[in-house]
Structure 1
Amino acid sequence: MNWHYDAVSANETPGKQPPAARSSAAVELLEEVHRDLAATALPLALPGADAARLDIRNALAQLDDYILPRFRSLDAPLLAVVGGSTGAGKSTLVNALAGHAVTRAGAIRPTTRQPLLLHHPDDAGWFEDRRVLPGLSRIRGTAARDPLPANQAGPAPGTGAVSSLVLLADAAVPAGIAVLDAPDVDSVAEDNRRLAGQLLAAADLWIFVTTANRYADAVPWRLLLDAASRDITVAVVLDRVPPAAEEEVSADLQAMLGREGLGGARLFVVPEAALDAMGMLPPAAVEPLRSWLAELAADAAGRADIARRTLNGTVRALGSRVETVAQAARAQERAAGVLSQETRDAYQDAVARILEATRDGALLRGEVLARWQDFVGTGEFFRAMEQNIGRLRDRMGAFFRGEPTPAVRVETAIETGLQAVIIDEAANAAERTDQRWRSDPAVRQLLGGDDLSGTSAGFGDKVAEEIRAWQGSLMDLIRTEGQDRRTQARWLSFGINGLGAALMIVVFSMTAGLTGLEIGVAGGTAVVGQRLLEAVFGDDAVRRLARTARDDLHARCQGLLAAEQQRFLARLDLSGGVPPAVLAAHAAALRRLAASA
């Protein structure tokens, strides 16, 4: 047989268009299930996650390859996939069914690499438009009846993953049924094994080929048990059976099928026979199987019954898969919630430590204290403040008008000190979170090779910018508070930076209850800021200003660290996925759909 191939365009109009979908509600549900499964994220390496991801891939493939196409075209020809173990004789069987060599058979393994779909010429339109197996491109095969050795028939094995399906129109195949020769289910090539599973999952009917000495092998039985779970129609071909052992072996295999829920499977025995010069079996060897397929093809109601039975079983199995995915998604959601909360707690603790450092007087030491003392003067100034508040106002006013620069130096020192505290606490939170994540095998892979144990690039600049913005907001508070105080207008005109510096000092020396000052801090220098502000605005106003300034600082610190924690939380983000409850509802709807038919 000579082979000529022409690519079939995906946009080509087939000779016969499939009918419109008969159950729009079912198709709509299945499309929703497909969309939501494709959007389901299982990022954590929890127990069972790998299996659930495989379930998702297999479910999506089966929806694409079989369930949706079949629901849309219930009266399309049946697809009978011929599968089995290495060397079981699948290709020889297909050749015998066609009555001439159409596919490669030989001793070199793997043999079947390019899947071949045989169909009646009148059924070409059902398969050319990728109704089933849409992920495989189509190649037309044109057969010529030239005598060729059987081991040269069919497409030559290629290399790499197979991405196409050979279509061969042959009048020897009865209209209403197509036969697909699949790769070995236990092939030495992983791509072949994967493709064999994909093709079997797209079948309405399985023709499973095994041999007298291998019918109990584990790999075929795993697939047969899957067929039983889907309630698929199965024909088992027991190949190369010695005449003396036919009764015993077929009885044993039939008993095994019954024990595994496949008692209804048809069993066909192909006796051991010599192949002719073309590598063909005697026609009589496969006549029972050929006749059975012809009867199915001629019985429209019988074909529809097989299609619906397989479809319902596949939908029921899909519902179980979706339920498994829903359970895995719930586990992911719970684990992600715990980890997210631990991450947020680490950064909230950092915010709390920053605020504690700003109210316990810690920032009123070192450079900030030195610049503040430069600004307000020496002990002689404190004595003058205690003796006469009026003299204090005059002296401070003159100080502000003459030397604004020291107040700015106080602001700069506060910015530097506060920046150091924020960066240090943010780095500590990042290090603790990074260590927590890396200690958990289920989470470690989310970090990959990235080092998140320190602050993000440019974080120091962001902190400095936020502190300056906070300081600017304090100046706005002071302007707003003093705008109606005409008697104190000169304080606002000449001492806005000084008043702002004083307010910062008050904020950094307040107790948690906002009830007073840490009088002992830095020798009482913070008292100067409070007394000065009280002289200008009054006691209640000072407390209100300090509380507002402190709340603003709290909010800005929270914002800075919330942005930092997103480096971790973004890797845990499941918001783009589908809620487990939606998946569980899909699983229930699929079970109802299968039961209703």
Structure 2
Amino acid sequence: MESAGPAGQQSQAARQGAAVELLEAVRGELSAVSLPLALPGAEAARLDIRQALAQLDDYILPRYRSLDAPLLAVVGGSTGAGKSTLVNGLVGHAVTRAGAIRPTTRQPILLHHPGDAAWFEDQRVLPNLSRIRGTVVAAPLPANQAGPTPDGAAITSLVLAADPAVPAGIALLDAPDVDSISDDNRRLAGQLLAAADLWVFVTTANRYADAVPWRLLLDAASRDIMVAVVLDRVPQAAEEEVSADLRSMLGREGLGSARLFVIPEVALDAMGMLPAVAVAPLRNWLRELAADAAGRAAIARRTLNGTVKALGGRVGAVAEAVRAQHRAAELLGSDASNAYEEAVGRILDATKDGALLRGEVLARWQDFVGTGEFFRVMEQNIGRLRDRMGAFFRGEPTPAVRVETAIETGLQAVILDEAANAAEEADQRWRSDPAGRQLLGTDDLSGTSEGFSDAVAAEIRAWQGSLMELIRTEGQGKRSQARWLSFGINGLGAALMIVVFSMTAGLTGLEIGVAGGAAVVGQRVLEAVFGEDAVRRLAKTAREDLQARCRRLLRAESRRFLDRLDASGAVPPAALAEQAEALGKLAGTA
């Protein structure tokens, strides 16, 4: 056992501080978790997060910070079970509302000894409920008239009532019905029970097997919380049979250690009070707990251990849910990225296999070099070729520009077509996945974005401009300057573009001879001006530049999908898994 001396107190304080630090870190991580994707189990995980945060705020952190605070005993149970009547009987006079109209307990009332007021007047426990100082009235209370009666809105306050009849060291909280017809009442009842050090659970002889109360009792069993079950309004003839059956049920569900108190079916007095003898066993048990400081501490630690252990399980489940979200986000992201990356590959293939040298591009190139000169040019030496082609370039700059325009038009059509194919593929992949469908909603992303065609045209013109600049830079040497000036910058640029698109793997028959021959003409012209190595280098640089521009275009287009993932906030888990493990260890030392 921990030493009670200064060293032992310091050690305990250090452990307590470390525990609070861990719990606050867990709270921070849970608060930052986002589960935006529509995955199986996501809604359950969101509920786990809400409940874990509420329990951290309402019970775990307050109890760790104040291990010596009075016990909070929450009196809960089914509609009409007699909770308020029981609380009145425990203190010996009417302090809470009891009546025939349901729900009866509309405002939670916390009864405490006057000496314990400081523990409950601040926001130490249940910090999201404001405090209302109530007054104990030792007189008959007409049904449904006691204390403040809130309107139909959600309850946001807690009535505090100091009463010397409540023993110091323990407080009683009269909670709303756990199966109330009011959603707000049910939620509040669950919140209050989760903030309790021990439960006084009230049921009746004809409702003790109801499903709703048992769901809560099983939650108590999972937290190892101390439970006292009050079996109310039991006919004398059925007391032994009903008590035995309820004890058997408690044992089967892991609540065999729960205390069972039986209140017989008796008439209330003129003040609506139970006979003192009917509640004496429960009142005496509570007084004994309040008087035993070590016993109270053991109860608090037992409940704290069980609650922290349950929290660790919840945090672990949330960590797995976050991992599932991250995996789903990565899959959706890769689906979109791969669709566009595959489109980039198809575009690059089209720029290498000679496909762009068909149709209009080939026709404009033939116009440019002169169809009648074509085969004769192929038979001349390099010098004669340069002279003949120079005449074409010097005298007819317009056909060179037409070649550039035809290339721009053809390349733009290829990029737009493949971008549309990528968009359709990514849209189909996302719509086949529930998370993807949720992110897309009613938006149709199966085509290219507005303005993409203009962006493609601008990028192609920029590529052509950079290609011209390559030629200028390469031709700055004194030996080649005169020659490239004689051919003209547009003519050499058109020739270089033809060389870039000159591979003939995609052509057949006559196309191979015609397009291939056209490419050879372009290459010979360039070699005559710059030399073979320089032409190879220029073509490689131009092709790599075009590939980079195509990738940038389609990656920017893929952001229509990827930005939705980024906005969803589906991020990988940080420390949740490690914190779940740490909570498991803490549960054994609380």
**TM-score normalized by the length of structure 2:** 0.90
Deviations along 1:339-371, one digit per CA (max 9) or x if unpaired, are 433333222211111111222222223333343
Number of the residue aligned with 2:35: 42
- Please tell me the residue identity of whatever aligns with 2:462: A
CA change 1:366–1:237 in 2 (3 A) is: same
- State the Cα distance separating 1:45 from its structure 2 match: 3.1
Paired with 1:521 and 1:66, the residues of 2 have a C-alpha distance of 84
Which of residues 343, 351, 354 in structure 2 aligns to 1:361? 354
How does 1:382-531 map onto structure 2 within 5 Å? 383-384=376-377, 386-492=379-485, 495-510=488-503, 519-522=512-515, 524-531=517-524
State how far apart, in whole Å, the 2-side matches of 1:264 and 1:410 are: 91
Q: Secondary structure at the match of 1:150?
A: coil
Per-residue CA deviation, residues 431-451 of structure 1 (Å, 9 max, x unaligned), is: 112112212234322222222
CA distance in structure 2 between the aligned counterparts of 1:107 and 1:504, rounded to whole angstroms: 91
2:269 match:
276
| Letter paired with 2:533 | D
Distance in 1 between residues matched to 2:514 and 2:19, nearest whole Å: 75
Contact 2:140 2:272 in 1 (8 A): no
Deviation at residue 579 of structure 1 after TM alignment: 4.1
Once the two structures are overlaid, the 10-residue window that deviates more, 320-329 or 539-548, is: 320-329
Number of equivalences = 575
Q: In the alignment, residue 182 of structure 1 is paired with which amino acid?
A: A
CA distance in 1 between partners of 2:397 and 2:152 (Å):
81
Letter of the structure 1 residue corresponding to residue 287 of structure 2: A
- CA distance in structure 2 between the partners assigned to 1:20 and 1:248 by the alignment: 49
1:131 to 108, 111, 124: 124
CA distance in 2, matches of 1:143, 1:394: 114
| Aligned mates of 1:251, 1:88 — CA distance in 2 | 19
1:227: Cα distance to partner? 0.6
3-state SS, counterpart of residue 87 of structure 1: coil
Q: Which moved more, 1:545-554 or 1:123-132?
A: 123-132
Share of identical aligned residues, percent?
82
Mapped partners of 2:95, 2:454: distance in 1: 72
Q: Check 1:491–1:90 CA distance in 2 against 1; reply closer, same or farther (3 A cut).
A: same
Change (3 A) 1:493 1:318: farther
* Structure 2 SS opposite 1:262: coil
Counterpart check, 1:118 vs 2:111: yes
Query: Which residue is equivalent to 2:155?
Result: 162
Pairing 1:180–2:191 present: no
293 and 493 in structure 1: CA distance in 2 versus 1, 3 angstrom threshold: farther
Q: Which secondary structure state, in structure 1, belongs to the residue aligned with residue 84 of structure 2?
A: helix
**Contact 2:360–2:406 (CA<8 Å) still a contact in 1?**
yes
**Residues 104, 144 of structure 2: 8 Å contact kept:** no
| Shift, 1:120, TM fit | 2.7
Choose 335-344 or 423-432, whichever is displaced more: 335-344
Moved more, 318-327 or 577-586: 577-586
* CA-CA distance at 1:580 after TM superposition: 5.0
Cα 1:169–1:485 change in 2 (3 A) is farther
Q: Which residue of 2 aligns with 1:190?
A: 183
Are the equivalent residues in 2 in contact too, given 1:94–1:103 (CA < 8 A)?
yes
Q: 1:432 to 1:240 in 2, by over 3 A?
A: same
Give the aligned residue type for 1:455.
Answer: T
Residue range with higher mean Cα deviation, 361-370 or 400-409 = 400-409
Q: Give secondary structure in 1 for the equivalent of 2:147.
A: coil
Cα distance in structure 2, aligned partners of 1:371 and 1:126: 91
From the superposition, tell whether residues 370 and 241 of structure 1 become closer, same or farther in structure 2 (CA, over 3 Å): same
Residue aligning to 1:141: 134
Q: Which amino acid aligns with 2:193?
A: L
Partner amino acid, structure 1, of 2:359: G
Partner of 1:16: none
Would the aligned equivalents of 2:20 and 2:61 in 1 still touch at CA under 8 Å?
yes
Instruction: Please tell me the residue identity of whatever aligns with 1:332.
Output: Q
Using structure 1 for the length normalisation, give the TM-score. 0.89
Of residues 179-188 and 385-394 in structure 1, the stretch that sits farther from structure 2 once superposed is: 385-394
Contact 2:483 2:529 in 1 (8 A): no
Matched, 1:23 2:16: yes
**Equivalent residues in 2 for 1:269-348 (5 A)?**
269-348=262-341
Matched to 2:242, the amino acid is V
The aligned residue for residue 225 of structure 2 is 232
Whichever residue aligns with residue 236 of structure 2, its letter is P
Q: How far apart in 1 are the matches of 2:577 and 2:39?
A: 19
Structure 1 residue ranges without an equivalent (≥5): 1-18
Superposed CA deviations along residues 90-126 of structure 1, whole A, max 9, x for unmatched, are 1222222233333222222222232222223333332
Distance 1:462 1:107 in 2: 73
Q: Secondary structure at the match of 1:166?
A: strand
* Match status 1:352 vs 2:345: yes
> 2:48 aligned with 1:67, yes or no?
no
2:5 — aligned with what?
A: none
Q: SS of the counterpart of 2:309?
A: helix
Say which is worse superposed, 40-49 or 304-313, in terms of deviation: 40-49
Kindly state the Cα deviation for residue 263 of structure 1 after the two structures are TM-superposed. Answer: 1.7
Instruction: Please state whether the residue corresponding to 2:144 is helix, strand or coil.
Output: helix
Could you say what secondary structure the match of 1:151 adopts? coil
Distance in 2 (CA, whole Å) between partners of 1:22 and 1:118 is 32
1:80 aligns with 2:73: yes
Distance of aligned partners of 1:512 and 1:204 in 2 relative to their CA distance in 1, 3 Å threshold? farther
Matches of 1:276 and 1:413 in 2, distance apart?
102
Cα deviation for residue 275 of structure 1 reads 2.2
The corresponding residue for 2:535 is: 542
Q: 1:485 to 1:315 in 2, by over 3 A?
A: farther
RMSD between superposed Cα atoms in Å = 2.7
Q: Residue type matched to 1:371 in 2?
A: R
Q: Is 2:134–2:147's contact at 8 Å kept on the other side of the alignment?
A: no
CA contact (8 A) 1:150 1:279 kept: no
Q: Distance in 2 between matches of 1:227 and 1:169?
A: 28
| Partner Cα separation in structure 1 for residue 231 and residue 255 of structure 2 | 15
Paired residue for 1:3? none
215, 223, 226: which one pairs with 2:216? 223
Could you say what secondary structure the match of 2:186 adopts? helix
SS in 2 for 1:449: coil
Tell me if structure 1 keeps the 8 A contact 2:48–2:318. yes
**Post-superposition, which runs of at least 4 consecutive aligned residues in structure 1 deviate over 6 A?**
19-22
- The residue number in structure 1 matching 2:203 is 210
Q: Which amino acid aligns with 2:339?
A: A
Native 8 Å contact 1:233 1:306 kept in 2:
yes
Distance 1:483 1:450 in 2: 53
Shift of 1:146: 5.8
Which amino acid is 2:54 matched to? A
Q: In 2 relative to 1, CA 594–482 (structure 1 residues): closer, same or farther, beyond 3 Å?
A: same
Question: Which residue number in structure 2 is paired with residue 589 of structure 1?
Answer: 582
In 2, the alpha carbon distance for the partners of 1:405 and 1:170 equals 102
Structure 1 pair 27–380 and aligned structure 2 pair: CA distance change class (3 A):
same
Deviation at 1:427, TM superposition (A): 1.3
- What whole-Å deviation, never above 9, does each CA across 1:497-534 have from its counterpart, x for those lacking one? 32222212211223589xxxx85354733333212111
| Distance (Å, rounded) in 1 between the aligned partners of 2:29 and 2:571 | 6
Does the C-alpha gap of structure 1 residues 233 and 410 become closer, same or farther in structure 2, counting only changes over 3 Å? same
> 1:199-218: CA deviations, max 9, x gaps?
11111111101001111112
The 8 Å contact of residues 412 and 457 in structure 2, kept in 1 or not, is answered as: yes
Q: How many Å apart are 1:290 and its aligned residue?
A: 2.1
In structure 2, distance between residues paired with 1:71 and 1:578: 31
